[in-house]
């Protein structure tokens, strides 16, 4: 019986592979590495996707003042109304007034690179060079007391940064209202 089930499974597998083969429609154009390169901008916590380049806190401070401070506030404090505060909030996450900033909440430093690179500055997204993005990231880590002022950020250094709230995330626990499972006459 067991052998029979196994052979059915094997048969189904062969059948579905055959179907997959048949179902290929040969639509679209092959994407060459040259074409992919220009669009392949994503960065992961393990450092995959971080480009060559490097930046310093000092350079970042300058870029921040010119390109970021108008919305996010001087040194990441006191942002304009409606814009994200980027600094502070440590120790507030378990209080009734949590302050969720890059320093207090974001689990990965690589995500700052990815986000600033793709979506910032707000008025000219995706306009900073890799060196400029590394610099802004270095500055934001510095003003959050995560790296020292002399830190230099590049692909190697950035993936090594341990963020304060790196362990703050857990798997989705829902549905977490177990007492509300319908018990009778539910359908």
Partner 1 sequence: MSVSRRRILASGAAIAIGGLSTNSREARAGTVPPDVPEWMHEQGRPILSPAYGLPSKFEKDVVRRIREPRATDTEAFSVTPLQDLHGIITPSGLVFERHHAGVPEIAPDQHRLLVHGLVDRPLILTMDDLLRFPAVTRIHFLECSGNSSTEWRKSGYHSVQRTHGLLSCCEWTGVPLSTILGEVGLKSDARWILAEGADAAAMTRSVPIEKALDDAMIVYAQNGEMLRPEQGYPVRLFLPGFEGNMSVKWLRRLKIGDRPWHTREETARYTNLLANGKAYQFAFEMDVKSVVTFPNADRSFKAPGFYEISGIAWSGRGHVTRVDVSVDGGATWRRATLQEPVLDKCLTRFRLPFNWQGQPLEIQSRAYDDKGWMQPTRSSLIAARGTNPRYHFNAIQGWKVAADGVVTNAST
Tell me whether residue 45 or residue 51 sits nearer to partner 1 (CB atom). Answer: 45
Does position 66 interact with partner 1 (CB under 8 A)? The reply is no
Give the number of other Cβ atoms within 10 Å of residue 58's Cβ: 14
C-alpha 108/C-alpha 160 separation (Å) is 10
**∠ Cα 103 122 38 (to 5°):** 95
Does position 6 interact with partner 1 (CB under 8 A)? The reply is no
3-state SS track over 147-160: CCCCCEEEHHHHHH
Does position 47 interact with partner 1 (CB under 8 A)? The reply is no
- Tell me the C-alpha to C-alpha distance, in Å, between residue 10 and each of 1, 18, 19, 139: 14, 12, 14, 57
Does position 64 interact with partner 1 (CB under 8 A)? The reply is no
Does position 23 interact with partner 1 (CB under 8 A)? The reply is yes
- Quick one: which of 105, 134, 139, 142 contacts partner 1 (CB under 8 A)? 105
Does position 176 interact with partner 1 (CB under 8 A)? The reply is yes
Please report, as ranges, the residues that interact with partner 1 according to CB under 8 A: 20, 23-25, 27-31, 35-36, 39-46, 71, 80-83, 93-94, 96, 98, 100, 102, 105-108, 110-111, 114-115, 118-119, 122, 125-126, 168-177, 179-182, 185-187
């Amino acid at each position: 019986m067991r052998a029979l089930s196994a052979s059915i499974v094997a048969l189904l597998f062969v059948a579905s592979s055959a179907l997959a083969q048949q179902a290929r429609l040969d639509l679209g154009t092959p994407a060459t590495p040259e074409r992919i390169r220009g669009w392949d901008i994503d960065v992961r916590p393990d450092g995959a996707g971080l480009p060559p380049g490097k930046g310093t806190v000092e350079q970042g401070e300058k870029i921040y003042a010119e390109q970021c401070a108008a919305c996010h506030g001087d040194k990441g404090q006191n942002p304009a109304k409606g814009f994200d505060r980027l600094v502070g909030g440590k120790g507030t996450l378990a209080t009734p007034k949590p302050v969720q900033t890059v320093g207090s909440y974001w689990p990965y430093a690589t995500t700052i690179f990815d986000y600033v690179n793709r979506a910032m500055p707000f008025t000219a997204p995706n306009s900073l060079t890799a060196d400029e993005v590394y610099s802004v990231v270095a500055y934001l880590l510095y003003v959050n007391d995560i790296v020292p002022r002399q830190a230099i950020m590049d692909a190697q250094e950035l993936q090594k940064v341990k963020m304060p709230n790196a362990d703050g995330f857990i798997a989705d626990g829902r549905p977490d209202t177990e007492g509300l499972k319908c018990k009778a006459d539910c359908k």
